Structures are given as structure tokens and as C-alpha cells.
Chain A
């Protein structure tokens, strides 16, 4: 198949045009964080750091940030343990119901967000009679973060094969020794990448969070949602949005660097 030079140019123009359009709104948010106009009229007339200062001194923002970091850290830790165990089980063994377990892991992100949200909300409030708190958020987040760790570890295990583990056990190492000295070191960067993606996913999540957060527990996205419609808070929300862009893109960028380094080394 040969493409005419014209159609190549059209395709290239379309691709780069859409990509530019993808980044444009994000750049507008970054630019607006120093826009002196409170209603963020475009184009900005001048530069101000007033909103950054107000955001830095806002206790609501700080508390929400701490809550978000706590939730993401604990949920990631849980997801790392559970996701790794699952990946080992599914990649190294075959058993009855394996594909169902596989489906079960992706279900929390495959089903619409409101369904996961209302199911957990109803489970906590209606069935168990538990008050919503920071812990209900953690449980919800861990549930849908498992899949990112699972995917990363499973892909790594598939590529590694079993020969090193078999060699280790032929040489007399026990199951745990083999895991500690042979399997785990080879999984390290996959765990780091999966963990960072899980962290970013949890840090950013809003839909399931609105269903599982108690009154006292505000994550950063919930704080943004609550303050977005207040005209005098909107510029501060904009500053927090810029911080969130950096926080969510940085770990992913690192995760990609990590996995591409490993692939290049193999």
C-alpha cells in the first residue's frame, strides 16, 4: 500500500493538531494560575502570584492534600501486596476459574464508576452500618488499584519465564528463599511502576471517592469540586489544579522511564 504525499501530510497535520488540542486546555489552566482576573477572562492581562500565595496559606488545601497523600499511600501499599500475590497465582499456575478471577480484577475499573461507587457506599452504609471515613476511601481505592499493580507484575512475570526460579530450587533454595532472592529483585521495577500508577490513580480519583468519603475526610479532588463553584475560590482551585497536573504526570513519566529502561536492558 502506498500513501500519497498529500495524505501523509493530512494525517500528520491531523495527528499533531489533535495532540496540540489535547494539551491546550491544560496550558490554559497553567497560564490562568497567574491571571490577575478573578473570573479568569482570556487573554490574561498581566501576571500575579496572589493566587499561589493564597493557595499556599489555605488550611483547607493543606488538610485535603495530607488526606489525599495518606489515602494514596495506604491504598498503594495494599494494592502492591494483593496485586503481586494475584499476579503470581495467575501467571505461574493454572486452575479452575482462572479466567473468572482475571475478570474479577478488572471489574472495578471496567464497570462504570458510579456503579462501583454506589455498590461500596451501599455496602458500607446500608449493609454493614459503618460510618464513611478515610478508611472507607482507602478500601475503595485499594480495590480498583489492584489491577494496575497486577498488570505490571503479570507482564514482567510473563517475560521473565520460570528458568531462574527452577534453577534456584534445583540448587536447594526453598520457596521463600527463591522468592526473596530470585523473583522479588527481578520484579522491583515492575512493582515501582505499578505502585506509582496506583498512587496516581488513587490521588486523582473523584467519582468513587464522592460515594465513599465521610464528611470529615476531604481528598484534594473533593476539595476542588466543593470550591470550584465559589467565584472567590476559583483562582485558588486553578492553582491547586496546576499542582495536581504536576503531581499526576510526574510519577507516570517516571514509571514510563523505569519500564522503558528495563525493556531496553533486556
Chain B
């Protein structure tokens, strides 16, 4: 009884389609199977078209726009070639100061983050137990995804008059460049810890033990074995924090007082000042800095670990 009632179910489980169609797939599918390049171009065409049309075209257009100008009377874009914008950038002191300030803040944030991240990543990867390590990784990752704006806002609250910093007795630096550096270092710290941690995890414990057994003191092991293996991880983390700080202008709006970074000048010129060509020219500064930086460190091999 039970056997006969189960039999139809078993037959339902077998998909009838392949039997009807035979073992050979449809012509379209057969064509794709034979022609690798066709399969590849079908896969690539949509995403590549998107990236090229939306992004690469936009970047090239940005470069071209930076060579145009705005007619001061009609405020229309004048599409004849000129280097006027770049001359303004070089000769006007404001732009030079803001560019230097932006790079300075980015360097400060990067140095602070690497200095804090190194011991923490070392503890996570080499000292903590495997169980504690997993928990620490989650603890570092979670705030990374908490809203960026909320994190800046939280520092605005902490550093405000009558806020936590003042109450704690440490005192608040107030809104200014120091607050910007603190906030940015805070926000990008997880981005620096993670690549350094990943690099440290790849350093085999046996290597450290061998060095210790052969009589090397701890400082020497750290200096001549751990550090060289860490360089790619440190570079990757430093690129993250440097690039992210350079491209940020919201933090300086919120906790920076009256200070400005390059992003503010770009935003004002693209919007209120209605001078897209000048905004495009200013944007060439962070691009140039990043290109120089990336070319310089390409040889370290750190770029492959990102």
C-alpha cells in the first residue's frame, strides 16, 4: 500500500525535460558552448558598456571641461581651449593653501591611523586566541559599515560645547582642523587595520618562532622579519585612508569650523558659483596626487592586495 502510493511521487522528482529534448542542448546554447569569445563578449558587454559610458566618459569629459571656461557675462560655458583655470590654480594663493591643507590633513590622518593600526592588527593576528580573533575582526568591521554621516555627527556631538569631551575633563579642541583630523582618523581606522591584519595573518608563526629560536630578540624579529612582510598591507591601508581623506569635504563642513578642503571648493564651483570648468580643474589636483602616489608605490606590489 505504502509502496504504491509513493511510486508516483518518485516519478515526479525526475525532470522529464532533458529526456524529451535529448542530451543535446538547444542551437543557441550549442553555439555559445563552442564560441568562447561570444560567451565572453556577452558577459562583458553590459557591465563594460556601463563602466565605460558612465564612468570613463565622465572622467575624460572632466579633463576636457577643465580646459574650457565660463563666460563671465552670460555665465554660459565657453567651449574653446584655454589653460586659464590652471593658471588661476597656480597663481591664486587660496587654492595653493587649500591644496596643501588637504594633503596635510590626509597625511596626518594616514600617519595616525597606521600608528594605531599596527599594534592592534599585531595583537589580533598574532597574540589573541583564534576565538578572540574572530570576535575582534567583527568588532573592527561593524563600525566600518555604520553610517559615515552618523560617525561625523557623533564627533560633532562629542566635541560640542558642553559635550562629552568637555565633561570628561580632557577638554575639546573645538571645531577646527584638529577636530577634522580626529574625526577622519576615527572614520578610516578600520580600513587601515584590516589590510595590515590580513598581511600579518599571512606571516607564518613558524617564521617568528625560528627567528626566536635562533636568538633574535623581539625587536629584531619585528624589524627585520615582520615589517618587510607587512609593507604591502601598510601601503594598501595608507592608500585607503589617504584617498578617502582627500576626497572628503563633508567632515570639514561639520566639525571643521570655517576651514575648507579641496572638495568644498569643487562643490561650491560646481553648484553655487556655477563654474564647472574651474571645479573640474580643481578636481585634477586630487587626481594628480593619487596618480603620482599610485605609480610610486606600484612597485611594492601592494596594489595586488587591495
The interface of chain A, by Cβ under 8 A from chain B, is: 1-4, 7-8, 11-12, 14-15, 18-19, 22-26, 28-29, 32, 39-43, 81-83, 85-86, 88-89, 93, 95, 101, 104-108, 110-123, 125-127, 139, 142-143, 146, 169, 171-177, 197, 200, 204-207, 210-211, 221, 224-225, 228, 237-238, 241, 244-245, 247-249, 251-253, 256
Contacts and interface: CB of A to CB of B under 8 A. Distances in A.
Nearest to A12: B123
Contacts of A123: 54, 57-58, 61-62
A101 B270 contact: no
Contact of B248 (A89, A95, A113, A211): A113
A41 B18 CA distance: 71
B139 A29 contact: no
Interface stretch (B6-14, B32-40, B81-89, B92-100): B32-40
Contacts of B195: none
Contacts of A24: 158, 164
A158 to B, nearest CB: 15
Interface in B256-306: 262-263, 266-267, 270, 276, 279-280, 283, 286-287, 290, 306
B146 A42 contact: no
Given A112-B246, A122-B62, A245 B267 contact: no
Contact of B147 (A28, A107, A171, A241): A241
Contacts of A88: 43
Interface of B: 18, 22-26, 29-30, 32-33, 36, 39-40, 43-44, 46-48, 50-52, 54-59, 61-62, 65, 77, 116, 119-120, 122-124, 127-128, 136, 138-143, 145-151, 153-158, 160-164, 166-167, 186, 189-190, 208-209, 211-212, 216, 218, 221-222, 239, 243-244, 246-250, 253-254, 262-263, 266-267, 270, 276, 279-280, 283, 286-287, 290, 306
Contacts of B24: 172
Does more than half of chain B's interface fall in helix, strand or loop, or is it mixed?
helix
Contact of A221 (B61, B149, B212, B218): B149
B21 to A, nearest CB: 9
The 4 A-B residue pairs with the shortest CB-CB distance in the complex, in nearest-first order: A112-B247, A174-B25, A174-B29, A25-B154
Contact of B25 (A93, A127, A173, A225): A173
A143 B54 contact: yes
A245 B119 contact: no
Contact of B58 (A1, A120, A173): A120
A15 B33 contact: no
Contact of A11 (B48, B119, B211, B276): B119
A29 B77 contact: no
Nearest to A21: B186
A126 B36 CA distance: 40
Contact of B142 (A25, A32, A172, A249): A249
Contacts of B222: 1
A85 B44 contact: yes
Given A3-B218, A177-B25, A245-B147, A225 B157 contact: no
A163 B199 CA distance: 30
17 contacts: A12-B123, A14-B119, A14-B123, A101-B44, A108-B55, A111-B290, A114-B249, A115-B62, A116-B55, A118-B280, A122-B58, A143-B55, A175-B29, A205-B148, A248-B150, A252-B142, A256-B141
Contacts of B186: 22, 25
A171 B276 CA distance: 59
B286 A114 contact: yes
B19 to A, nearest CB: 11
A98 to B, nearest CB: 10
A82 B50 contact: yes
Contacts of A25: 151, 154-155, 157-158, 186
B262 A114 contact: yes
Given A120-B58, A207-B247, A211-B270, 4 more contacts: A11-B122, A89-B47, A118-B266, A120-B55
A143 B47 CA distance: 10
A228 B156 contact: yes
Contacts of A210: 250, 267
A116 B249 CA distance: 13
A112 B267 CA distance: 14
A244 to B, nearest CB: 4
Contacts of B54: 120, 123, 139, 143
B50 to A, nearest CB: 6
Nearest to A25: B154
B209 A85 contact: no
A29 B151 CA distance: 9
B141 A15 contact: no
B276 to A, nearest CB: 5
B154 A29 contact: yes
Given A2-B212, A111-B247, A256-B138, A174 B33 contact: yes
A36 B145 CA distance: 29
Contact of A22 (B18, B189, B243, B270): B189
A85 B36 CA distance: 15
